[in-house]
Amino acid sequence: MGVGFVLRHETGALNEELEPPSLQTHTSNLIHKTFSTPTEPRPQMRVLRGGKPRFTNSLLSVAFRKRFFPEATRSDWDDWRWQLRHRIRDVHTLQAMLQLSEEEQAAIGRHNGTLPLSITPYYASLLDRSNPSQPLRRSVVPVSAEQTRTEGEEEDPLGEDHTSPVPGLVHRYPDRVLFLATDFCSTYCRYCTRSRMVGDAQTQHCNVSHWERAIAYIEATPAIRDVLISGGDPLTLSDERLEWLLSRLRRISHVEMLRIGTKVPAVLPQRITPALTRMLKRYHPLWMSLHFTHPDELTPETAQACTRLADAGIPLGSQTVLLAGINDQVDTMKRLVHGLVKMRVRPYYLYQCDPIIGSAHFRTPVTKGLEIIQGLRGHTTGYAVPNYVIDAPGGGGKIPLLPEYVIGREGSDLLLRNYEGKTYRYPDYCK
């Protein structure tokens, strides 16, 4: 811990200790055999002899482990480091698990550069073996379309590199910064906004000297009251490294709150260990933004991970990217937001997909997002309705989008449309 810790790792990549090193029934059926709705009943913590809490396993993941990792024990499977060491990263291993389409095979074979193939065994257990159109499979298995550049697409569509005062830190808004703590993720989403940098084995975009410079910048900038630690996925860092970073940031008197952005509860829920949550509790106020894509991610394992985080007093919000053919239906989004609320995760942002290179097959028209918000607002709990935003290309920040609820004026009356399409008047004048 502390400075000594940094010196020991000065020359290494932040994730080097991970040494990122191989079903047939559809996901939902097996998940729901044991767990009819994602969080009902709330997962019970089983305790092994010897007092170590045991992680929940769905029938789906148990069947997958026995078939594809017969040598792995239940403890291996529940160990997040084992999951990282056994990530699926090549076409041959994936082919043994899924019937790959020609398009998928060609895309993986031709891949060269950032955003490699990487899927944790746990997340692979949720993929449909025979259907390349299954939403979860589309979100993590490459296809040829991601190698086609369409008009308007950019490597860095949000202009993050232009608002970066020091490497690994983005300072776009007055009072907060984005701290890119690592360029590593356990599982790579094919639509990743930071596809230009994540998973790049050649270039270290985030190393310890970057951390030091970023911390020095924050220390010297009293306007910064909020630090969002993201990446890559910061929860792939060891407890010790993450605690070192949190403690350094917490020592800066003007930093009022810390946030962590992560997809770990969806792709590597085993990472949310009691030791991690005990450590995180020491750095309140600490908030978390959890990245979810589809209701099929809301498994018993994910429910347990969210329960542990929420029980540690961490306010949880979700972020979801709107993706064509994956989650762009009102019913799908409703199932996702309802499942999240039951896991004590507040649906926070629904993002219009950023125009990164090769994203045309993922992007929907903006009208689709508005239609989804219109299908949620008023029709379900307000807490379950996320803010639909476009992160403005070029670095303009998040711009909220709302269906049209103000339809005009008559004299001093404001004419409003409610969720059922009925018109109401509000006397919009004061004495």
**Which residues does the annotation mark as catalytic?**
172-173, 176, 185, 189, 192, 194, 354, 391, 398
Q: Could you give the CA distance from residue 232 to residue 82 in angstroms, rounded to a whole number? A: 19
Residue with tokens 């239609």: 371
Residue 137 sits in the site that holds ligand SF4 (CB under 6 A) = no
Residues 356 and 311 sit within 8 Å (Cβ to Cβ): no
What is the amino acid identity at position 3?
V
Choosing from 171, 176, 194, 205, the residue that interacts with ligand SF4 (CB under 6 A) is: 194
Residue 237 sits in the site that holds ligand SF4 (CB under 6 A) = no
Nearer to ligand SF4, 291 or 294 (CB): 291
Residue 355 sits in the site that holds ligand SF4 (CB under 6 A) = no
Least distance CB 263 / ligand SF4 (angstroms): 4
Q: Which stretch binds ligand SF4 (CB under 6 A): 32-40, 45-53, 128-136, 181-189?
A: 181-189
164: helix, coil or strand? coil
E strands, 215-256, in order:
226-230
What is the amino acid identity at position 182?
T
Least distance CB 199 / ligand SF4 (angstroms): 7
- Nearest Cα to 23, choosing from 61, 74, 76? 61
Least distance CB 118 / ligand SF4 (angstroms): 9
Residue 232 sits in the site that holds ligand SF4 (CB under 6 A) = yes
Q: Could you give the CA distance from residue 315 to residue 310 in angstroms, rounded to a whole number? A: 7
From residue 242 to residue 281, the character string flagging contacts with ligand SF4 as x (rule: CB under 6 A) and all else as - is: ---------------------x------------------
Q: Which stretch binds ligand SF4 (CB under 6 A): 105-113, 225-233, 294-302, 347-355?
A: 225-233
Non-local (6+) Cβ contacts of 308 within 8 A are 272, 273, 274, 277
- Nearest Cα to 25, choosing from 53, 63, 75? 63
CB closest to ligand SF4, residue no: 192
231: helix, coil or strand? coil
Residue 229 sits in the site that holds ligand SF4 (CB under 6 A) = no
E strands, 328-383, in order:
345-351
Nearer to ligand SF4, 348 or 419 (CB): 348
Least distance CB 254 / ligand SF4 (angstroms): 27
What is the gyration radius of the CA atoms in the chain, in angstroms? 22
Burial class of residue 142 in the structure, from the number of CB atoms within 10 Å of its CB (0-12 exposed, 13-18 middle, 19+ buried): buried
Residue 172 sits in the site that holds ligand SF4 (CB under 6 A) = no
For 270, which DSSP code? G
Residue 233 sits in the site that holds ligand SF4 (CB under 6 A) = yes
Nearer to ligand SF4, 199 or 369 (CB): 199
Angle between helices 208-219 and 239-250 (to 10 degrees): 20
Nearer to ligand SF4, 234 or 369 (CB): 234
Residues 366 and 376 sit within 8 Å (Cβ to Cβ): no
Choosing from 60, 198, 214, 373, the residue that interacts with ligand SF4 (CB under 6 A) is: 198
Residue 196 sits in the site that holds ligand SF4 (CB under 6 A) = no
Nearer to ligand SF4, 7 or 201 (CB): 201
Least distance CB 29 / ligand SF4 (angstroms): 26
Non-local (6+) Cβ contacts of 403 within 8 A are 370, 373, 374, 377
Choosing from 170, 185, 245, 322, the residue that interacts with ligand SF4 (CB under 6 A) is: 185
Least distance CB 391 / ligand SF4 (angstroms): 13
Point out which residues bind ligand SF4 (CB under 6 A): 185, 188-189, 192, 194, 198, 231-233, 263, 291
